[in-house]
Structure 1
Amino acid sequence: MGNTNKNITLELASLVVSLRLEDIPPQVLRIARQAVLDWLGVTVAGADDSVSQTLAGLMVSEGGHSRCSLVGQVDRLPASTAALVNGMASHALDYDDVNFSIPGHATAPVLAAALALGEDLQASGAQLLEAFVAGYETSCRVGQLVAPNHYAKGFHATATMGCFGAAAAASRLLGLDAQTTARALGIASTRAAGLKAAFGSSCKALQVGEAARSGLVAAMLAQRGVDVSEDMIGHRLGFARTHSSDMAVHCALRTPRYVADFAVETTDAAPAYGFHLETNLFKYHNTCYETHSAIESALYLVRTEAMKVSDIVAIDIRVNPHCDDICNIARPATPMQARFSLKHTVAMALLGKNTADPKAFNELSVVDPQVLALQGLAQVILDPALRVPETTVGITLRDGRKLERRHDSSQPETDLGAQQERLIQKFRSLCEGRLPFSTIVELERTVARLESLADVGELVRPFGSRR
């Protein structure tokens, strides 16, 4: 249980308040800017999703002080509802970045809350970066506090942890002190929600939007004096103990270590980082991240082996049992379910279909005879000897040959320059057809000089100009 004398909520709040931009290493700030660019791209594309449009239409119809932008849309809303809509849009395609410390998507709910409030307050780019990093780190630290049981029990950690991260980011932008920030995190404890049962449906993204709104509102309520019991995270009846049978105080408060398999304990050999952002993982396939190793394995075999798809007689996809509840939809019936299907995504990769393109996942793709034929040849084997998301793909050919490739997509990129180039390509492909190319390049330049912006409204102004 850890040291029960610690006030975990206040300790976390103190970390939020003490963070300063000048204390953040340049490589961490670079990853933070990359996360902002990636978030803008996936949100622009996700705003076109029908459910994003439905939610935006509902919120606009309810009205309110229209001070904050909707990314990818021309309407404006109050800060909390803008956070809700942008948060859902940023996760609508399930193409946003991940961090296994949560485990889940770290940026989406935090940045949705921070950007909405930052625009409302006319915060600077430096203030937005401080708030985002503080919120991101808080999400990961609370995630490690309750890992691995919280996620295993069926909670959608992106949403639950994201609520705390959004509250932390909003608290920084509001200039709250440690005690008031602790109250904000305490209020967030009563609002953090989300279930893995929603995976494969639109409500997965909705939960992320609600996390952004709930965290933002928690900070606003704390600023206005709403009280809450002390240490709502660490209390014996608080968030951590009611939402997990694990509570590792040291994991929430110590220097983060890289843990790719959701385990709380680490060895001395595990690499230590100063910030969880250093272990951020960006997506280059528009699918559940736990399918990425399988896709990469399949693509490798296609590139390196002399084989025809028509000669395949069996496909074995070997994964950690953790994946069974996440991405093992055997026969997806919708484009979103297809993104959570190991069999479907491997079949697409083998057939040369572009898994990086959101448009590749459509109503026709889930009934494609070629894809269905390969799905029928595939079996998913649950192997506890594999870490998450380490995967082995084995292919048996008609001539008796057996091909195999193992891949682990959990390793953070060390070449940040190469990562930047890939993210720019991804950003441009997501914005193409939705924004003029000149606007796309302008947004790239604006994000690159984020620390120097006097008003973060510059990040979202291009969308309002489309009226």
Structure 2
Amino acid sequence: MAKTLAERLAAHFAGFTYDKLTDDNRKAVKRLLLDYLGVAVAGSQTGSGKVARQYAASMGGHAQATLIGDGARVPAMQAAFANAISSHSVELDDIDVLALFHFSPPVYSAALATAEQVSAGGRELLAALAAGCEMMERLSKAANNSLRNRGYHTTPTCGVFGAAIAASQLLRLSEEQIVSALGLTGAQAGGLMEMYGPSMQKRFNPGPASRSGITAAAMAQLGFTGAATIFDGERGFLAAFTDANQPGQLVAGLDQPYQLDIEFKPYSCARPIHNAIDCALEIRRKHAPDLERVKRIQMARHPDWALYHQNAHPSTYHEAQVSLPYSVAVALTDGQALFAQYNNARLKEPMLVRLSEMVEISVDDSLPRGVSCRMTMEMDDGARHVSQVDYPKGSIQNPMSDAELRAKFDSLAVPVLGKGRAAEAAAMVENIEECRDIGELMRLLAPSEK
């Protein structure tokens, strides 16, 4: 009998080790580890991060893993839950090349919590991170764009499988156990795109995914069996979550090295908005327009994302971070779009309101990429300034350097951890292969006064 997709994936990941990682993938997951930690440390201090930490600590249980930005130790599942929410709370987490999902909140949170629980070392962690990211992206390729267009949020819906594979690696599950873990993961998959608005809803989504991935792996380790047909069955994941899919993407090239393309965020907002920000920054840099004399701002977007992020009147910073008009306005006024720009106190500033209301979004299917944007600014004297951005800053084609990523980490981590601890954590990530116990790294991620 032919093997199911889950069985083929299990055979692949059961033999997954650090030595099988390509140099590019080792570098990619290490760069993302530094980025994740900085983002999670900063996010842990936001309203959503604080509630998540408080909830995790209130549940009690064995002290297995560390709450980032806190230092309290809680069960691994609870640490993964809270840390995933923290890492998604400032809109600076990584992104895939199609801007459909974030690798690190579900996968890295689950992997770090499990690694700490079992006292795994750096090499084991890197292998688990790479495996989890690969699993997540394979499933996204198989399910999207239909998954997203039906209203499911890819980060938790596919990320739960990445979290399960990462945990399975660290728990050293057998091939048969990984099949069960994947089946049990499917029983918990979910996450809706009904998350944009003034609430913290969007921050929550990766939390259950990270926790559920660990649950699935732990239950499979104890002998609880799951459906081998979870992906390709009549009522399996692809049938339930998509109208159109490409199941072959789940197992394409299993005998070849998998290329992980991980992109990074320089701006504190939803990734499909970054192209628009880069357009605004380019016009600002090249033309220094007098913003009082702007008459019209047109933003052409690819059909993939044109109907998203249109709210020109955000009422909270959560809404502002998914508002293209506000993001363009603040980029034009401030020359940047960091977390400080997404501040409730700024949302009613007259110039920001005026520029936000001026942004007209249109659909242009001639644009080459799903995230492409073309901005045309018209001035009151008839002058026109045009910028088109297909590859935003932080993309594979327009990358952030190691120095830029370190500066981003420092800007996020130092205010919470202090210079000493932040530098020590960064140095440990740089040499993570030599780390014998990931707990040593995690214990650095609390404010120095604790």
Please say if residues 38 and 96 of structure 1, whose CA atoms lie closer than 8 Å, have aligned partners that are also in contact. yes
Deviates more, 1:18-27 or 1:440-449: 18-27
CA distance in 2, matches of 1:187, 1:79: 18
Match of 2:14 among 12, 17, 28: 17
- Which residue of 2 is the match for residue 53 of structure 1? 50
- Which residue of 2 is the match for residue 270 of structure 1? none
User: Unaligned stretches of 5+ in structure 2?
Assistant: none
The 5 A counterparts of 1:81-230 are 81-100=78-97, 103-200=100-197, 201-230=199-228
Letter in 2 for 1:463: L
CA distance in 1, matches of 2:274, 2:398: 19
Please say if residues 102 and 143 of structure 1, whose CA atoms lie closer than 8 Å, have aligned partners that are also in contact. no
Aligned-residue offset at 1:466: 4.4
- Which residue of 1 is the match for residue 262 of structure 2? 280
CA distance in 1, matches of 2:298, 2:98: 29
Please say if residues 13 and 182 of structure 1, whose CA atoms lie closer than 8 Å, have aligned partners that are also in contact. yes
CA distance in 1, matches of 2:397, 2:298: 31
**CA offsets, 1:151-200, max 9 Å, x none?**
11110000111100000000000101112111101111010110111134
- Which residue of 2 is the match for residue 384 of structure 1? 365
**CA offsets, 1:20-55, max 9 Å, x none?**
212212122111101000000000000001122112
Match of 1:361 among 342, 360, 364: 342
Please say if residues 102 and 161 of structure 1, whose CA atoms lie closer than 8 Å, have aligned partners that are also in contact. no
Identity fraction in percent:
28
- Which residue of 2 is the match for residue 308 of structure 1? 290
The 5 A counterparts of 1:329-344 are 329-344=311-326
Deviates more, 1:114-123 or 1:330-339: 330-339
**What SS class does the counterpart of residue 334 from structure 2 fall into?**
coil
Aligned-residue offset at 1:115: 0.3
Q: Note if 1:434 corresponds to 2:432.
A: no
CA distance in 2, matches of 1:374, 1:65: 52
Please say if residues 48 and 203 of structure 2, whose CA atoms lie closer than 8 Å, have aligned partners that are also in contact. no
CA distance in 2, matches of 1:385, 1:458: 51
The 5 A counterparts of 1:387-466 are 387-409=369-391, 412-413=395-396, 419-463=401-445, 466=449
> Does the C-alpha gap of structure 1 residues 25 and 203 become closer, same or farther in structure 2, counting only changes over 3 Å?
same
**CA offsets, 1:389-431, max 9 Å, x none?**
1100110001101111100136843687x62111001000011
Letter in 2 for 1:382: V
**What SS class does the counterpart of residue 74 from structure 1 fall into?**
coil
Match of 1:26 among 23, 35, 40: 23
Please say if residues 306 and 362 of structure 2, whose CA atoms lie closer than 8 Å, have aligned partners that are also in contact. no
CA distance in 2, matches of 1:183, 1:27: 30
CA distance in 1, matches of 2:112, 2:273: 30
Letter in 1 for 2:92: Y
CA distance in 2, matches of 1:32, 1:217: 23
- Which residue of 2 is the match for residue 262 of structure 1? none
Aligned-residue offset at 1:336: 1.1
Letter in 2 for 1:363: N
TM-score calculated relative to the size of structure 1: 0.91
- Which residue of 2 is the match for residue 251 of structure 1? 249
Please say if residues 342 and 380 of structure 1, whose CA atoms lie closer than 8 Å, have aligned partners that are also in contact. no
Aligned-residue offset at 1:74: 2.4
CA distance in 2, matches of 1:102, 1:354: 20
- Which residue of 2 is the match for residue 323 of structure 1? 305
CA distance in 1, matches of 2:279, 2:27: 29
CA distance in 2, matches of 1:79, 1:453: 20
Aligned-residue offset at 1:245: 1.5
Please say if residues 52 and 88 of structure 1, whose CA atoms lie closer than 8 Å, have aligned partners that are also in contact. yes
**CA offsets, 1:2-26, max 9 Å, x none?**
xx95511111222222222122121
CA distance in 2, matches of 1:306, 1:126: 49
Aligned-residue offset at 1:440: 1.1
> Does the C-alpha gap of structure 1 residues 170 and 399 become closer, same or farther in structure 2, counting only changes over 3 Å?
same
CA distance in 2, matches of 1:415, 1:312: 29
Match of 1:234 among 225, 232, 235: 232
CA distance in 2, matches of 1:320, 1:459: 42
Deviates more, 1:24-33 or 1:321-330: 321-330
Aligned-residue offset at 1:101: 5.9
CA distance in 2, matches of 1:434, 1:245: 45
- Which residue of 1 is the match for residue 40 of structure 2? 43
**CA offsets, 1:62-114, max 9 Å, x none?**
21112210111122210000000001100011210011468210121101000
**What SS class does the counterpart of residue 309 from structure 2 fall into?**
coil
> Does the C-alpha gap of structure 1 residues 123 and 101 become closer, same or farther in structure 2, counting only changes over 3 Å?
farther
CA distance in 2, matches of 1:198, 1:414: 30
**What SS class does the counterpart of residue 361 from structure 2 fall into?**
strand
> Does the C-alpha gap of structure 1 residues 321 and 330 become closer, same or farther in structure 2, counting only changes over 3 Å?
farther
Letter in 2 for 1:444: A
CA distance in 2, matches of 1:102, 1:348: 22
Deviates more, 1:8-17 or 1:319-328: 319-328
